[in-house]
């Protein structure tokens, strides 16, 4: 378990063991200092089929052990965002207004009741020094509000497709040279999957070295990097289906496969093992913690250090395997949990939200179930980044209802071979420049015609003045607030 104190509590309170283990895992996932809202924890426990009524008493037990302390908040009546009671009290004493950090409504004019929440304190980690060393990289936790907003520049790469024989110098050095020539610095790196060709340990090792060296050259910590797996990062060797004599009631049941007249049933306990190589050889070496094992937890919010930019990282390839290589989609429970955790993480902050995943959200090859877009729009996600398509793409989702509209930006392949890219399409990467007022995103496209070649402006976008004979290497996105 994450806290040794929880291990002793489980033995002392066997009837509440399930809820204590759930809270221990939740704190590990949220990170030290995370704000824990009892109502949300009760709802989450119910989803996990636990005895949710035990959550309040279990929270008290953890408080008595010094793992939690009480932090009072008020909830905005308009949008549900939490504000610390200490800030409300200060505004009362100084006779000032206090705007909700999310919707801008005056909290002082609302009938907001104080409610106790908890913050996780520092206990004894049973995982030892490894967790202590990397605790700074646990980014899904409340962070200090930046004093001022500034322009934020995000490097977006996708579809690196490293092989065990890949020459790192010919991949990394031209990129570094190009970024140095452009100037302006990079505040965060987003890589939307397909780090490898076949998800082998050797390929992930190449990808890991690439990411580490890239971050070092950009003078960034791993906390400024967000990654998600792609379909080529799914390891297909584990046997995750087994023969069965039970016939499915529905022949389209996703848990079954008819293979050469043999009925195979998916082994749900082994199914997550397809991401073990991604976790063991890439994610954990970079961030110090394994990739979340349960699919329901694979939608993770991160706040880029010293900014108000929150990135929700979703796994769109969770249900892809050797029998269903094209079954892309967003796990709905994971998304809802991720959005809820994002709200808790961003307490008392006005946030610019981005969602990233591997598979396309628009076009003929989009993920078929678009329910996730409804939730993203309602959660004020204004930008989605993805890869997989091996070409540049931008689309506006839900343009009619501006408050829920989402810009979807797909980036081309950074490292895929010429045969894997559309005809005459070069290697591509993007730099997204988010204005200080968060009202505009300028997307700069860069391209490279051959392996190891020099990067240059990718001039394919219509000019701002509408001149059809002029193409430019960037386009602007206006963000609706």
Q: Which of 62, 76, 79, 75 lies closest to 119 in space, CA to CA?
A: 62
Alpha-carbon span 142 to 119, nearest angstrom = 10
Alpha-carbon span 44 to 440, nearest angstrom = 36
Q: Which of 161, 226, 228 lies closest to 192 in space, CA to CA?
A: 228
Give the start-to-end residue ranges of the domains of the chain: 4-126, 152-478
- Classify the C-alpha dihedral 240-241-243-245 as positive or negative: positive
The Cα-based distances of 243 to 250, 266, 267, 319, 321 in angstroms read: 17, 9, 10, 19, 16
CA atoms within 13 A of residue 306's CA, in its CB half-sphere: 9
pLDDT, position 39: 84
Reported confidence tier of residue 402, pLDDT bands at 50, 70, 90 = low
Reported confidence tier of residue 84, pLDDT bands at 50, 70, 90 = confident
Cβ atoms within 10 Å, residue 200: 17
The two three-digit tokens of residue 376, written as one number: 């993203």
Provide the pairing of β-strand 299-303 with 309-314: antiparallel
User: For residue 316, is pLDDT > 60?
Assistant: yes
- Answer left, alpha or beta for residue 224, where phi above 0 means left and psi between -120 and 50 means alpha: alpha
Reported confidence tier of residue 122, pLDDT bands at 50, 70, 90 = low
User: For residue 387, is pLDDT > 60?
Assistant: yes
CA angle at 421 for the pair 424 and 451, rounded to the nearest 5°: 80
| Structure-token match 């049941």, residue found | 253
pLDDT, position 359: 95
Reported confidence tier of residue 145, pLDDT bands at 50, 70, 90 = low
pLDDT, position 26: 76
Strand order in the sheet with 35-36: 35-36, 115-120, 68-75, 82-84
Contact at 8 Å (CB) between 288 and 134?
Answer: yes
* pTM passes above 0.85: no
- % of the chain with per-residue pLDDT over 90: 43
| Structure-token match 């049933």, residue found | 265
Alpha-carbon span 193 to 231, nearest angstrom = 8
Q: Long-range contacts made by residues 248-255, C-beta under 8 angstroms, separation at least 24?
A: 254/319, 254/324, 254/327
pLDDT, position 139: 39
Query: Could you give the dihedral angle defined by the CA atoms of residues 215, 216, 220 and 221, in that order, rounded to the nearest 10 degrees?
Result: 90
Q: Per mean pLDDT, which range of 84-88, 178-182, 306-310 is the poorest? A: 84-88
Alpha-carbon span 277 to 200, nearest angstrom = 7
Cβ atoms within 10 Å, residue 337: 23
CATH number of 152-478: 3.60.21.10
User: For residue 143, is pLDDT > 80?
Assistant: no
Beta-bridge partners for 258: 263
SS3 track for 219-284: CCCHHHEEEECCHHHCCCCCCCEEECCCCCCCCCCCCEEEECCEEEEECCCCHHHHHHHHHHHHHH
Cβ atoms within 10 Å, residue 192: 26
Q: Which of 411, 377, 425 lies closest to 230 in space, CA to CA?
A: 411
φ and ψ of 377, to 5 deg: -65, -45
CA 66 to chain centre: 30
Question: Which residues touch 183 (CB under 8 Å, ≥6 apart)?
Answer: none
DSSP reduced 3-state for 471: strand
User: For residue 453, is pLDDT > 70?
Assistant: yes
Alpha-carbon span 380 to 384, nearest angstrom = 11
Q: What is the mean pLDDT of the chain?
A: 84
DSSP state of 84: E
């Amino acid at each position: 378990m994450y806290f040794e104190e929880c291990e002793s509590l489980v033995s002392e309170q066997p009837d509440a063991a399930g809820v204590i283990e759930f809270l221990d895992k939740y704190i590990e996932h949220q990170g030290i200092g995370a704000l824990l809202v009892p109502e949300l924890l009760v709802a989450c426990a119910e989803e996990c089929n636990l005895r949710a009524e035990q959550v309040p008493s279990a929270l008290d037990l953890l408080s008595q052990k010094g793992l939690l302390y009480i932090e009072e908040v008020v909830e905005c009546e308009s949008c549900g965002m939490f504000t610390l009671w200490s800030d409300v009290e200060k505004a009362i004493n100084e006779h000032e207004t206090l705007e909700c950090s999310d919707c801008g409504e005056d909290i002082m004019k609302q009938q907001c009741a104080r409610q106790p929440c908890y913050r996780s304190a520092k206990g004894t980690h049973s995982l030892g020094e490894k967790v202590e060393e990397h605790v700074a990289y646990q980014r899904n936790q409340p962070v200090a509000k930046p004093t001022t907003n500034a322009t934020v520049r995000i490097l977006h790469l996708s579809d690196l497709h490293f092989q065990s024989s890949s020459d790192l110098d010919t991949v990394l050095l031209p990129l570094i040279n190009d970024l140095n020539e452009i100037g302006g610095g990079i505040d965060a790196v987003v890589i939307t999957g397909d780090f490898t060709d076949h998800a082998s340990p050797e390929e992930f090792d190449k990808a890991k070295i690439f990411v580490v060296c890239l971050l070092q050259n950009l003078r960034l910590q791993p906390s400024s990097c967000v990654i998600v797996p792609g379909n080529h990062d799914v390891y297909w060797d584990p046997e995750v289906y087994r023969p069965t004599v039970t016939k499915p009631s529905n022949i389209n049941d996703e848990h079954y496969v008819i293979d050469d007249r043999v009925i195979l049933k998916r082994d749900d306990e082994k199914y997550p093992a397809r991401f073990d190589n991604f976790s063991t050889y890439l994610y954990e070496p970079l961030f110090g913690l394994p990739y979340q094992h349960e699919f329901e937890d694979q939608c993770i919010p991160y706040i880029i250090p010293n900014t108000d930019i929150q990135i929700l990282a979703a796994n769109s390839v969770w249900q892809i395997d050797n029998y269903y290589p094209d079954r892309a989609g967003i796990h709905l429970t994971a998304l809802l949990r991720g959005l809820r955790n994002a709200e808790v993480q961003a307490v008392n902050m006005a946030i610019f939200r981005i969602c990233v995943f591997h598979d396309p959200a628009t076009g003929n090859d989009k993920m078929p179930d678009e329910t996730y877009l409804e939730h993203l729009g309602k959660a004020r996600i204004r930008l989605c980044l993805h890869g997989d398509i091996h070409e540049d793409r931008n689309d506006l989702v839900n343009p009619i209802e501006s408050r829920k509209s989402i810009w979807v930006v797909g980036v081309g392949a950074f490292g895929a071979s010429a045969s894997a890219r559309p005809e005459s399409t070069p290697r591509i990467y993007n730099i997204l420049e988010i204005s200080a007022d968060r009202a505009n995103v300028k997307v700069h496209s860069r391209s490279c015609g051959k392996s190891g070649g020099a990067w240059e402006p990718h001039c394919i976008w219509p000019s701002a003045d509408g001149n059809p004979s002029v193409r430019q290497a960037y386009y602007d996105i206006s963000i609706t607030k």
